[in-house]
Chains A and B, each alone.
Chain A
Amino acid sequence: MLRVDDLHVYYGGIHALKGIHLEVNEGRIVTLIGANGAGKTTAIRAIVGLLKLNAGSIVFRGSNITDLPTHQIIRQGIAVSPEGRHVFQNLSVFENLELGAYNLRTAEFQEQLEWVFSLFPRLQERRVQVAGTLSGGEQQMLAFGRALMSRPKLVLLDEPSLGLAPLVVQEVFRAIEEVNRQGATILLIEQNAMAALTIAHYGYVLETGKVVLEGPGAKLLKDEQVRKAYLGE
């Protein structure tokens, strides 16, 4: 569904991505794990056109999206829940969700809205509240829900567990699995390698801008190198 080949990005004078490749197959949860500064977020930003590539190609559902502007990449069916959530603090929960569905028609919007509210009932309770006043966990649900509003075929989730209490992390990960069960493909960026690999079908390990290891999630979980470096054993 998504195929990234030989991606090179220079970012602020640093060779941040040194030829990474990854593939996300339809219906899967694929995770990209790695330490801080490994280039995970850079990879996401490059995929959706927020960063300029120095080399490489990105193909989504058979069409080349490498040099498209961000809004056109999004319209092909990719949604992003960015690192640090970035909900629109000055808008209400409902308005945030509306913007997530910017390119949908009204009838489709209603349908998506009901679905997102069923995943995150808390958002329904808070629909008129200004997003800036939500708790961190609620903001994460909003960022995730907002991404889902566009009826995406592929959802890129950047560090959804960052700074959240363990119970909330569980809730978010349950939602990720649920969304995946209902047909959306997920590319999950995580520092929380344990949680990510537990739910992922496939994983890539990123180190200083390179993919150093890849394999099915369960296999990576057992990998000695991974256990040492990321699971703290």
Chain B
Amino acid sequence: MTNTIFLQQLVNGVSVGSLYALVAIGYTMVYGILRLINFAHGDLLMVAAYAAIFGMGIFSNSWIAFPLAIIITGCIGILLDRTAYKPLRNAPRISLLISAIGASFLLENLFLVIFGGVPKPFPRPDFFASVIDIGALRIPVLTIYAPIITILLFLGLLYIVYRTKAGKAMRAASRDFETTRLMGINLDRIIALTFLLGSCLAAAGGIMWAMKYPQVNPFMGIFPGIKAFVAAVLGGIGNITGALVGGFLLGLGEIMIVALMPELAQYRDALAFVILILVLLFRPRGIMGETIVE
């Protein structure tokens, strides 16, 4: 393999990884607070993509449509918590999990009924469509923007979680619901904020995903969702920096394995599951997860 192709794949891997990372962060945040794998989280990618298509149809301006789609998806994330999870706050975790799976099916099939199963093209704005040449490399700008946007959003998230009062309340709630309430903190608001932030990041990921693979259909969120979940487990579920690292590693791993061993190309999607099994077998707490003594 020539250096050029290697570099090209490296950049690709980082780029795909950054999208996994954006989605993985939402999984890990919700898990950190509710100890719930929010299976409907991947579907928010799809919700964001449809919302963006709609926004573009109305405003034909991505600077309005995309942020709007992110906000709408964030609100749907909150709605998801209110309807599917909040009524089960004191229920056993398994009920919550079943509710999550139900919510995921509901979202997918609701969009299927409304928009039909025929994939919709995604209107990629010029800003993201160009290709730049660096030496012998030809790289779509989206490939470069994706990790940059991811890092910026991640830094913003870190600021909220570590520097603001609400973020500190979030970290407190991830350890102890009751004592958090004893501080006069409205726990439901903190949980809603968690869903809002996680869903907004997933939406940003979903929009970039749709620009990268511009076919939008009601089931498009499933695979990236599952892979992001694997990334979150790989990084150490409950740890947001871990989710970022896990996302990048998974994206890189996927692309590089195919680049180095083209005969494995068909198994690209299987790699995530192999990693999941290996992590669960040998290091269930992931790369950055802590051992929590309960």
Q: A residues engaging B (CB < 8 A)? A: 48, 50, 69-71, 74-75, 79-80, 82, 86, 88-91, 95, 98-100, 102-103, 146, 150
Contacts and interface: CB of A to CB of B under 8 A. Distances in A.
A103 B184 contact: yes
B168 interface: yes
B171 A102 contact: no
Contacts of B176: 86, 88
Nearest to B290: A90
11 contacts: A71-B186, A79-B182, A82-B179, A90-B171, A98-B168, A99-B165, A99-B169, A100-B183, A102-B184, A146-B183, A150-B184
Given A91-B172, A99-B168, A102-B169, A71 B184 contact: yes
Interface of B: 165, 168-169, 171-172, 174-176, 178-187
Nearest to A96: B172
A38 B187 CA distance: 30
B168 A50 contact: no
B269 to A, nearest CB: 36
**The 10 residue pairs across chains A and B that have the minimum distance between CB atoms:** A74-B184, A70-B181, A86-B179, A88-B172, A80-B182, A71-B186, A99-B183, A103-B184, A75-B184, A102-B183
A47 B185 CA distance: 17
A49 B96 CA distance: 24
Nearest to B166: A102
B175 A90 contact: yes
Contacts of B184: 71, 74-75, 102-103, 150
Contacts of B169: 99, 102
A149 B123 CA distance: 53
A17 B262 CA distance: 70
B171 A74 contact: no
Contacts of A70: 181-182
Contacts of B174: 90
B165 A102 contact: yes
Contacts of A103: 184
Contacts of B165: 98-99, 102
A174 B92 CA distance: 43
Contact of A48 (B168, B172, B182): B182
**Max chain A Cβ within 10 angstroms of own Cβ: one of B172, B176, B183, B186:** B183
A101 B258 CA distance: 53
Contacts of B178: 50, 82, 86
A5 to B, nearest CB: 23
Contacts of B187: 71
Nearest to B174: A90
A92 to B, nearest CB: 10
Given A71-B186, A71-B187, A99-B169, A88 B179 contact: yes
Given A86-B176, A98-B165, A102-B165, A91 B182 contact: no
